[in-house]
Amino acid sequence: MSKNVTVRDHIVDKKIVDVAKLAGVSAATVSRVLNESSLVSEKTKIKVLKAIEEMDYHPNAAAKHLRSQRTMTLGIIVPDINVSYFSEIIKGIENKAYAHKYKVLICDSDNQIEKEMEYLDLLPDRTVDGMILVTPRVSDDTIQEYVKKGYVIGVVGRAVVHEDILSCKTDNVKFSNEAVRHLVEQGHQQIAYIGGYSDSLENYERMEGYMKALKEGKIPFLPSLIDNGDFEETGGYQAFCRLLERNQSFTAVYAANDEMALGVYRACRERGIRIPEDMAVVGVDNNRITEYLLPALSTVEQPKYEMGSQLTEKLIAQMSGNEQNMQKKHVIESTLIIRESSSYKRD
């Protein structure tokens, strides 16, 4: 008693029976009013509503959750909420969830797979009804394993090889092809590629688009023009420096995201390499920062908000049992935005 005193102890919550007594009905009737069941007469409904109002009654969520076996809560696992790519996706998820009366639990993993695995336990815990992964770290097999057990999982910004797992992403091959083709059209013959995590499906696909564009431009593929970062500024910086050190000249870089392109900018500034005159740069994501850079960064718009929103719509539909012939692997359009960093034509 004396040890577990918390602030909460001051509050005496009203219960449904208290409302029932005040309204002169049974708890069941109050519950019916609360849940908008039609089998209540207008007269008692008004009585009950008045009592609820009067007492400032709020139904206890935990009791509801226990009884109904659902929490109306979605979890989101992200590597870093502070990266705008992720926060825009989260915003899309949150807004759609709100529209369907779902709450959103945010799980920032700080880029640690251990934390992500831990957060995944919120599913068997029944803390959340479903989980959205916006991380490349949790493996396809792990996801598949949870889904096979019956848990609801959706994925944003990537796909999962197994069938029947909800995902929403863009077409990596297509937009990478477009981005690199644009560089080729600007007259570049040696184009470097800075990828993200080297072993991810997304990376293979972006590489594929890159190679396809080279082929179309009849440009030989040089493995020495390929390096990988980790999707962060520093990783991009380091990868670009390694590329320079190889003494394989190049006049353009395609970076797998804007953060890494930022690293390229820094390296160029340090070495007096002019963008776009000496080095053209194209990124991916269309982070807000890209517009403010000098020169403004050419990039591939990723409809982040839309990806989050659309996946959430489908996830909620699935949880409601409306999954008749629903497309599980959703691919959304992305478009190349040409700005100053690649607008210098070579001959």
Partner DNA sequence: ATGAAAGCGCTAACAC
Partner DNA sequence: GTGTTAGCGCTTTCAT
Is there a contact between 154 and 132 (Cβ–Cβ < 8 Å)? yes
Amino acid at 334: S
CA 73 to CA 92: how far, in whole Å?
15
For residue 329, which of 193, 157, 202 has the smallest C-alpha distance?
157
CA 135 to CA 228: how far, in whole Å?
18
- The stretch near DNA (CB under 7 A) out of 8-16, 147-155, 207-215, 338-346 is 8-16
Is 334 one of the binding residues for DNA (CB under 7 A)?
Answer: no
Is 68 one of the binding residues for DNA (CB under 7 A)?
Answer: yes
What lies within 8 Å, CB to CB, of 3 at 6+ separation is none
Taking residues 168 to 207 in sequence order and writing x for each that binds DNA by CB under 7 A, - otherwise, the string is: ----------------------------------------
Residues linked to residue 156 through DSSP beta bridges, in sequence order: 168
Quick one: 4 or 247, whose CB is closer to DNA?
Answer: 4
Helix 42-55 × helix 16-23 angle, to 10°? 120
CA 300 to CA 81: how far, in whole Å?
21
Q: In degrees rounded to 5, what are phi and psi of residue 335?
A: -130, 145
Q: Which residues bind a copy of itself (CB under 8 A)?
A: 4-8, 10-11, 13, 56, 58-63, 65-66, 69-71, 73, 80-82, 84, 87-88, 90-91, 94-95, 98, 103-106, 108, 110, 115, 121-122, 124-127, 129, 149-152, 262, 265, 288-289, 292-294, 318-321
Is 16 one of the binding residues for DNA (CB under 7 A)?
Answer: yes
Which of 53, 60, 139, 242 is close enough to bind DNA by CB under 7 A? Answer: 60
Which of 2, 7, 8, 43 is close enough to bind DNA by CB under 7 A? Answer: 43
DSSP assignment string, 99-142: HTT-EEEEEE-TT-HHHHHHHHTTTTTTS-SEEEE--S-S-HHH
Q: In degrees rounded to 5, what are phi and psi of residue 299?
A: -160, 170
Least distance (Å) between residue 74 CB and DNA:
20
Is 247 one of the binding residues for DNA (CB under 7 A)?
Answer: no
Least distance (Å) between residue 194 CB and a copy of itself:
18
Binding site for DNA (CB under 7 A): 13, 15-17, 24-29, 31-32, 34-35, 38-41, 43-45, 59-60, 63-64, 66-69
